[in-house]
């Protein structure tokens, strides 16, 4: 039985794990840029994409969105 008679936006309940402190996830994501200057330029986009994904997850967990 559903709680809502119609679909609601957002991920399915229980589809992500809750962090105790989202700031740890943000700090970890930003740390992924620390050695960026040592990487070849061609690998920067991949690193930025990975950091963006980690930040999106960490920031969305703040409001349980």
- The whole-number pLDDT of residue 14 equals 58
Within-domain flag for 8: no
Q: Is the pLDDT of residue 1 over 50?
A: no
User: DSSP states of 28-46 as a string?
Assistant: HHHHTTTTGGGS-GGGHHH
Cα–Cα distances (Å) from 48 to 24, 27, 33, 45, 56, in that order, read 18, 14, 8, 5, 12
Total count of domains within the chain: 1
Within-domain flag for 50: yes
- The whole-number pLDDT of residue 17 equals 53
Please give the residue range of the domain that contains residue 52.
22-63
Q: Is the pLDDT of residue 60 over 90?
A: no
Within-domain flag for 7: no
pLDDT tens sequence across 6-52 = 766 665 555 555 545 777 778 888 898 999 999 999 999 999 999 99
Within-domain flag for 17: no
Within-domain flag for 33: yes
- The whole-number pLDDT of residue 46 equals 92
> 46: number of CA atoms within 13 Å, CB side?
5
Check if the beta carbon of residue 1 is closer than 8 Å to that of residue 27. Answer: no
Q: What is the model's pTM?
A: 0.58
Within-domain flag for 2: no
């Amino acid at each position: 039985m559903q709680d809502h008679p119609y679909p609601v936006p957002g991920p399915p309940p229980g589809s992500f794990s809750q962090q105790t402190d989202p700031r740890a996830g943000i700090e970890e994501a930003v740390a992924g840029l620390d050695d960026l200057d040592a990487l070849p330029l061609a690998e920067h986009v991949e690193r930025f994409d990975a950091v963006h994904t980690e930040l999106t997850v960490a920031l969305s967990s703040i409001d349980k969105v």
